[in-house]
Chains A and B, each alone.
Chain A
Amino acid sequence: MTRHQQPDPAAATALARVRGQAPEIRANVRRLAAFASVHSCPTAAVAFAARIDTNRVLAGTSMEMPFGQSPFAIGRGVAFEALLRRHGHAELRRVLTAGLDTDFTFAAIENLREGYPPNRTGLRMRATVTQTRMAEIVGGPPEPVVLDGAVLEADVGGLPAFFEADEMAIGVGGQIIVGENKSWPVVDGKPTDEDALGAALDQAATYVLLGRQTLERSGVDPACMSDSVVLVTPRNTGLAPSLHRQDVASRIRRIQRLLSAVPDVQETAAATPASVTFGVVADTTRPEGVRLAAFGDVTDVLGRVYEPASCLTSCGFAWACRQRLFADADPAVVGGAVARALPGIASLSRVAELGQGAPASPVEAPAAVPVARAGRLYDEVIPAAGLSQRRTA
């Protein structure tokens, strides 16, 4: 990952053209995690490089993914964060003191979410404060410092991006510890949502990695960032917070590999044909048929990789891609595992023919043999249902 390259104006123009009037979204840790799930898809890569909000591009069509959130779930999250900040962050001080073996009673807690403009300029200012405070670890602050809403700056695919960490506790045993607040409860020491736990630890590991890069830029030993992170979650049925410490060293290594795989914006812009734009796709004034046809054209040009589990949870294009694959009789519609088992066979219609014993071409033969055998075996056993198993099973 390079540091603070200025994006080539031509590339920026090209990506603005690709984006058209599609909704824009800035890179954040969740966007990065979502892209990580679909990073092998060329369409997703271009959308990520062009900062397109894939969840909103198809708004108003039947292919819009239902990624909306319950107001109760948002309310719970907001209430939990408010609880941690109430009365001079009293609850946050309590759980940090109890969980980190360091007294946070007199810790300096800076709330960087307040007092800065809610825009890119504000994020840049917060990133500067965060970097300055982090560098103070060298002096060994007399009391720990907690940054509420620390901002870390990094280049993602050649463009600067800002990442907001919930907490950063500086000066805990000479180290900096990243914290993440989540409103799902922990019961009997176990999370009630294991997928959410994994996502939260990935987020925290990303902050550790970016924090190390920030320290390096300040000339401070990056090892000051602890490998372990803390999650602050409610315990049991209420919102009373509790702290859990977890080592995320292996996740940090994985995320490092992931960040290095993010496509470079300028390379993406250069490789994207001039005809590609999401403008028509996102144009809500146009008929649905026109928008979906335009989406099909874009993905036909760029290419698509559809993996149901990752696409359907991470990408707003998933239903539209799935529909397109079905229309093309593409085996990938049921998942990559099946598609990879059929090299040389273009469509499900052809697989069906081979399954019924149609002669295979030399290219199809390796995949056709087991499929034909599967068809023969299935046709043999289904009529045999209910017969004695003793001699024919």
Chain B
Amino acid sequence: MSTALEAYFAARIYSEGRALRRTTLRHVHLADPPLAIAMWRLGGERFRAAAVAWGPLDGPFQLAVPGEPRNRDLYFAALQPFAIDLCARVRRAAVAKVARQRGSVIEHIPADALQLAVPNSSTVAALGLLGRYLAYLSDRGGVAPHPALLEAGKHLRFYARHARVPGQSLLIPLDRLVAGHWATLLSPFEQANLAALDAQIEPAAGLHPFEASAAAEAAARIGPEPTEDVDRRTEALLADFNAARGISTDPDITGPLAEPLREHYRSLTEPVWRLMGRVVTRERQLAAAPSVYRRFESDREAFGRHVDWVVTQGGYYRTTDTPRQAAITLRRLEDTLARYEADQAVEDPALMIGHLLDGDAIRGTVASVSQTKVVVKVRAVARAVMALDSTDPVTLPTGKLLWWTATASDQPWEVQSVQPNGAGSRVFLMLTAKPTPERLPVVGDVITLSTLCTGQVAFWLMPPENPPWTHRPATPLPVPDPIDAGDREQPAAPVDAAAAEDPGRYT
């Protein structure tokens, strides 16, 4: 992103006291409503959800609070309703299918996919870890865990991994969604706080966005990692709970005893739920960009493959990619990112501004379009030559390929020369393909050309099935195994910072 544009945004927001839209369109599919999930962990306990809230975002949430999340029996008993509900929703979403034709191949992909919305990227990582834990649970004492827990674990792992795909809409961290669509006075680091972002966009009456976000940053508790004050309260309630239950894990006994903890987490979750609802409602008001449908179709395809593998075939995923898998995944992610950035800028003129300022794009008025003949290999072929007048000076090398945004998935134009033209420049470009009416702008049009291409510029071959020895791991990949052996350990006793000799050691 252009620093000049960022500076301009910051200055305008400072002066006008309101956040600015970065985009004119919404670039992510938003279900109506998505299934929202908010989560709280115990400090330092990466696998222990002290509370999970879930439900369609347009309604109230359900809350799973195990009381003592480090007790396996209590933990699973509390998570079971969440797991059962998640599995049912995933299966339901995958039932209805639509036919999709690609060339001569007709595929059936889910007509819809379950969309999850979470408050921030930290929750995505937390769900991924919870998924890793649940998906490979072992039998303990000969008692098999409820199958919904294992299946939910696989779903959560899938969602967390899919969240890496640029432009995906299956698992939406709302902080990223808002930061992508709004310019604020928050730095990228501060944008991880959804409450601060929201306060910048809709500050309380009489407050400047900066003041509103600073207050929200200090006051808001979002999770999944608890702040000290949250866990101090949890510590006291948990101590009471454990003292009252003794060693009992009987739901009839522990259920009522956990009520104060439930109330504690309910009071923490309610503002987060309202915040998420407000954010999604606001973003949904923007019209979706044309490419959103195509990207969500890819999401549905991935969702369908996942459900088929996990639900229909009962399959598991590797926990560590093979080198070949890693190479393919990286390549796909890079390609998807490039395509996503191109789609956004081509469809959304506001997102093209950064490219114009950075010199990756030019905008101007078409001064002339003429046809000529050039020799390609041995044949003389027709080509179009365009003169484009830009009011800004243009610095582009001869031979640079640029795509007209109206035909960004088609053939590029090649820069022939750049000449000074008043305060700006006149750029001569030649179309690198046969001139057709669709490919040619009309004299007088104001058009944009950029280095961004939304088509496939090259085909790539899959890596060989058997990679050479240079690309094979020195040791065999670990087999996916349960990671719950530690569940039998006694939970560590909380320690107050004042009582620790050097609390900073445990940061």
Binding site for B on A (CB under 8 A): 28, 30, 62, 66, 68-80, 118, 164, 183-185, 187-190, 192-193, 234, 236-240, 308-309, 312-313, 319, 322-323, 326, 329, 331, 333-335, 337-338, 340-342, 348-352, 354-355, 367, 370-371, 373-375, 377-378, 381-382, 384-386, 389-393
Give B15's nearest chain A residue, CB to CB: A352
Choose among A70, A187, A308, A337 the residue that contacts B190 (Cβ–Cβ < 8 A): A308
Say yes or no for B369: interface residue by CB 8 A criterion: no
Give Cα distance in the complex from A184 to B352, angstroms. 42
**What is the total number of residues of chain B having a CB less than 8 Å from a CB of chain A?**
86
**Distance between A121 CB and nearest chain B CB, rounded to angstroms:** 16
Please count the residue pairs between chain A and chain B whose beta carbons lie under 8 angstroms apart in the complex.
Answer: 255
Contact B500 A349, beta carbon cutoff 8 Å: no
Q: Known contacts A329-B14, A351-B8, A371-B7; is A183 also within 8 Å of B506 by CB?
A: yes
Across-interface contacts of B133 in A (CB, < 8 A): 237
Give Cα distance in the complex from A326 to B295, angstroms. 40
Q: Known contacts A189-B478, A334-B10, A338-B7; is A308 also within 8 Å of B43 by CB?
A: no
Contact B46 A62, beta carbon cutoff 8 Å: no
Across-interface contacts of B186 in A (CB, < 8 A): 334
Contact A69 B187, beta carbon cutoff 8 Å: no
Can you sample 17 A-B contacts with CB below 8 Å?
A: A28-B502, A28-B504, A62-B218, A69-B507, A71-B232, A72-B231, A74-B497, A74-B500, A74-B503, A237-B485, A239-B492, A334-B6, A338-B3, A338-B10, A377-B357, A389-B406, A393-B349
Scoring B3, B21, B229, B230 by chain A CB atoms within 10 A of each residue's CB, the highest score goes to: B3
Contact A30 B507, beta carbon cutoff 8 Å: yes
Contact B228 A386, beta carbon cutoff 8 Å: no
Give Cα distance in the complex from A319 to B196, angstroms. 14
Contact A371 B4, beta carbon cutoff 8 Å: yes
Contact A70 B228, beta carbon cutoff 8 Å: yes
Give Cα distance in the complex from A319 to B210, angstroms. 12
Contact A333 B497, beta carbon cutoff 8 Å: no
Contact B493 A348, beta carbon cutoff 8 Å: no
Contact B10 A386, beta carbon cutoff 8 Å: no
Contact A334 B492, beta carbon cutoff 8 Å: no
Contact A189 B320, beta carbon cutoff 8 Å: yes
Across-interface contacts of B492 in A (CB, < 8 A): 72, 75-76, 78-80, 239
Scoring B353, B442, B488 by chain A CB atoms within 10 A of each residue's CB, the highest score goes to: B353
Contact B187 A66, beta carbon cutoff 8 Å: no
Scoring A70, A183, A378 by chain B CB atoms within 10 A of each residue's CB, the highest score goes to: A70
Q: Known contacts A237-B483, A374-B8; is A385 also within 8 Å of B24 by CB?
A: yes
Contact B187 A309, beta carbon cutoff 8 Å: yes
Contact B483 A187, beta carbon cutoff 8 Å: yes
Contact A334 B187, beta carbon cutoff 8 Å: yes
Give B190's nearest chain A residue, CB to CB: A308
Contact A71 B15, beta carbon cutoff 8 Å: no
With contacts A319-B218, A392-B349 known, what are 4 further pairs, Cβ within 8 A? A69-B506, A77-B506, A312-B190, A373-B4
Interface residues of B in 396-445 (CB under 8 A from A): 405-406, 441-442, 445
Give Cα distance in the complex from A80 to B195, angstroms. 34
Give Cα distance in the complex from A71 to B239, angstroms. 12
Across-interface contacts of B287 in A (CB, < 8 A): 386
Interface residues of B in 448-507 (CB under 8 A from A): 448, 478, 480, 483-489, 492-497, 500-507
Across-interface contacts of A335 in B (CB, < 8 A): 187-188
Contact A70 B11, beta carbon cutoff 8 Å: no
Give Cα distance in the complex from A240 to B488, angstroms. 11
Across-interface contacts of B14 in A (CB, < 8 A): 329, 348-349, 352
Give Cα distance in the complex from A308 to B10, angstroms. 14
Give A71's nearest chain B residue, CB to CB: B494
**Distance between A40 CB and nearest chain B CB, rounded to angstroms:** 16
**Distance between B207 CB and nearest chain A CB, rounded to angstroms:** 12
Give A310's nearest chain B residue, CB to CB: B189
Choose among B347, B405, B478 the residue that contacts A188 (Cβ–Cβ < 8 A): B478
Contact B505 A377, beta carbon cutoff 8 Å: no
Choose among A184, A334, A378 the residue that contacts B5 (Cβ–Cβ < 8 A): A378
Contact A192 B46, beta carbon cutoff 8 Å: yes
Choose among A69, A76, A309, A371 the residue that contacts B497 (Cβ–Cβ < 8 A): A69
Contact A352 B46, beta carbon cutoff 8 Å: no
Across-interface contacts of A30 in B (CB, < 8 A): 504-505, 507
Give Cα distance in the complex from A334 to B19, angstroms. 13
Contact B501 A237, beta carbon cutoff 8 Å: no
Across-interface contacts of B406 in A (CB, < 8 A): 389-391, 393
**Distance between A383 CB and nearest chain B CB, rounded to angstroms:** 10
Say yes or no for B368: interface residue by CB 8 A criterion: no
Contact B347 A355, beta carbon cutoff 8 Å: no
**Distance between B203 CB and nearest chain A CB, rounded to angstroms:** 13
Say yes or no for B235: interface residue by CB 8 A criterion: yes
Give B320's nearest chain A residue, CB to CB: A188
Say yes or no for B12: interface residue by CB 8 A criterion: yes
Contact A382 B10, beta carbon cutoff 8 Å: no
Give Cα distance in the complex from A51 to B227, angstroms. 26
Say yes or no for B47: interface residue by CB 8 A criterion: yes
Across-interface contacts of A187 in B (CB, < 8 A): 129, 132, 483
Contact A374 B357, beta carbon cutoff 8 Å: yes
Give Cα distance in the complex from A313 to B442, angstroms. 54
Say yes or no for B319: interface residue by CB 8 A criterion: yes
